Amino acid sequence: MDPATGQPRDTWGSKAAFILAAAGSAIGLGNIWGFPTVAGQNGGAAFLLIYLAAVAFIGAPVMLAELIVGRKTGLNPVGAFKALAPRTAWVFVGGLGVLTGLAILSFYSVIAGWTLSYIFKSAIGTFGPEADTAAIFAEVAGNPIRAIGWHFAFMALTIYVVLGGVRDGIERWTKVLMPVLFVLLAALAVRAVTLSGAAEGLEFYFKPDFSKVNGSVVLAAIGQAFFSLSLGMGAMITYGSYVSKRDDLVSSAAWVTAFDTSIAILAGLIIFPTLFHAGLEPGVGGPGMVFVVLTSLLSSIPPAPWGGIVFGTGFFMLLGIAALTSSVSLLEVPTSWAVDERGWSRKRAALLLGAIAFLLGIPSALANGAVPWLTSLPGVGTDFLSFLFTLFGQYSLVIGALLISLFVGWVWGVQAAGEEVRENDGKFPLGRLWAFLIRFICPIAIMAILLNLVWGLFGA
């Protein structure tokens, strides 16, 4: 029941609609902007292999665990923990998720705002062959009024979709747009791998050099897997809460994971050949890298200048849309919390929480050149946006996922979780493997990584 309207809680229209919406949440800037950046910084191919292992053995089981908790309780993360473990501290895991959602949304919207501005820049042919794409990026991200303005515009779009609710808002948008994104990315990948110098990029991406692997590379891979799959803060608990008891959770989790991972791999296939073609180093250039590199690839598509204009505009529109279907899930978590737990109307919740995320995002919008001390935080060394990303987009998600796997594996229990999975047809394919992964592999791997990190911090 929705306490504000007295209506029954919304559900997805079909299993396919749910898979697309969850894939829409997962697929976003994390895949196209984040994955190639992190992979580039961590050695390319070796990172890719560790990432795939992290997705299969840690990400996928946590995804299923979140969906199970969501469908079982039919509630937001705070409500879900309250329902399954009344009067315990577990509710704080849900609370941390709600907070983390707002924090991630705040800087996510800033980056997505750059994407919006690039739609218009591409359309008017800004990225011709002579354009200095690095200078253009510096101008877009470094101008305070523009950066805040586009951040505002993107947040307004996010609020608009969330106001529409689950079926008429989120579902309606993702169903059409995700397939188009896939086709366009595939076309760009074909273009990228046929560039001169592409072979070097492919070698970097597919030929592992394990001497580059250490604890922080593994942490980066696991962190990237959680961020990319939208795990660790209850987004999949929330989306799972709108799944009908007739639908199958195991295959849904598998589809979402597979879609998300293929898009990330595809993005690498676009970025690395292009980087090497342009004679640039992977892993340098920070948050602007993808914007700088992609625009030069896009603008090289013949016939000049129309190929560049058409593909550039199309690409940034789709990237903006991919970001929108993700940011919507970030706002949906605190919104569903306010609706379920505080009795707010959806309208009030989405507007107020979206406004908070907008305000929180302002320092991030000023952190790429507009304000010097935010661009290079004293004592931290990185910019404010990257700092928030590390704190909430990495640590908070990793800790959240650890607690979720401990909760489902040991507290609420794999037995009870299994019963929820079997609700639809009595079956739980790979149920034993999942139970083993969620009880042992996920918590141990995550804890080992956290310890390794603390160890490193104190130089012991």
Using CB under 6 A as the criterion, which residues of the chain lie in contact with ligand TRP when the complex forms?
A: 25-26, 28-31, 104, 227-228, 230, 233, 235, 326, 329-330, 397
- Taken in order 263, 264, 267, 273, the sign of the CA dihedral is negative
Cβ closest to ligand TRP, residue 117 vs residue 326: 326
Which residues, 6 or more positions from 190, have their beta carbon under 8 angstroms from its beta carbon? Answer: none
Cβ 32 to ligand TRP shortest distance, Å: 8
Cβ 235 to ligand TRP shortest distance, Å: 4
Give yes or no for a contact between 332 and 162, defined as CB atoms under 8 angstroms apart: yes
DSSP 8-state secondary structure symbol assigned to residue 157: H
In 3D space, the residue among 113, 112, 27 whose CA is nearest the CA of residue 322 turns out to be 27
Cβ closest to ligand TRP, residue 26 vs residue 188: 26
Cβ 29 to ligand TRP shortest distance, Å: 4
Cβ 402 to ligand TRP shortest distance, Å: 14
The span from the CA of 40 to the CA of 280, in Å, is 11
Give yes or no for a contact between 162 and 350, defined as CB atoms under 8 angstroms apart: yes
DSSP 8-state secondary structure symbol assigned to residue 286: G
Helices (H), 85-209: 91-123, 133-142, 144-163, 172-193, 198-206
Cβ 353 to ligand TRP shortest distance, Å: 14
Encoded amino acid at 63, one letter: M
- Residue number of the CB atom closest to ligand TRP: 30
Cβ closest to ligand TRP, residue 20 vs residue 104: 104
How close are the terminal C-alpha atoms of the chain, in Å?
53
In 3D space, the residue among 415, 386, 24, 26 whose CA is nearest the CA of residue 232 turns out to be 26
Cβ closest to ligand TRP, residue 98 vs residue 202: 98
- Crossing angle (nearest 10°) for helices 397-406 and 91-123: 140
- Taken in order 176, 425, 420, 415, the sign of the CA dihedral is negative
Burial of 129 (0-12, 13-18, 19+ CB in 10 A): exposed
Cβ closest to ligand TRP, residue 30 vs residue 443: 30
Cβ 397 to ligand TRP shortest distance, Å: 6
- Angle at CA of residue 281, ends 322 and 317, nearest 5°: 20
Cβ closest to ligand TRP, residue 29 vs residue 98: 29
Cβ closest to ligand TRP, residue 230 vs residue 368: 230
Cβ 214 to ligand TRP shortest distance, Å: 24
The span from the CA of 304 to the CA of 4, in Å, is 55
Structure tokens at 281: 């180093």
The span from the CA of 454 to the CA of 460, in Å, is 9
Residue with tokens 């394990």: 210
Cβ 104 to ligand TRP shortest distance, Å: 6
Cβ closest to ligand TRP, residue 11 vs residue 228: 228
Cβ closest to ligand TRP, residue 44 vs residue 59: 59
Cβ 200 to ligand TRP shortest distance, Å: 27
